[in-house]
Amino acid sequence: MWCIVPTIKPIPKNLLTDTIAYKPILSDQGDGWNSEYGEEQEISFVRVEPATSMNRSSDSQGRQANDIVFIDRNHSSFFPTDAKAGDLINDREVTRVKKLKTFDEIHHLEIEVV
């Protein structure tokens, strides 16, 4: 018995109107001062969306994302499959990377930056 698997279309290119500067972190001494970064890579055809969230807890110490960057596997000029917290986007720190998959392949990245 065959199963027809629908394909999921990439993010429409007309929505990917931004360009970012991406630098992967190479090493971190844990003190926030001595981190080393790789070569800067310009990535075009991405989307940068402002993120808003409310923190209702008076004792919460979590950092909130200021922007979410969408990088599409098909349309973006570069796709950093190994993106991680600590990398830099436009000289701002990446706090979390969500790798959204379709079946076994990454469809796009949603990267939160502060």
pLDDT tens column, 66-110? 999 999 999 999 999 999 999 999 999 999 999 998 877 889 999
Tokens of 77: 């000029």
- The structure's pTM equals 0.81
Give the Å distances, CA to CA, from 32 to 39, 86, 109: 19, 10, 25
CB atoms closer than 10 angstroms to residue 30: 8
Write a three-state SS string for 30-42: CCCCCCEECCCEE
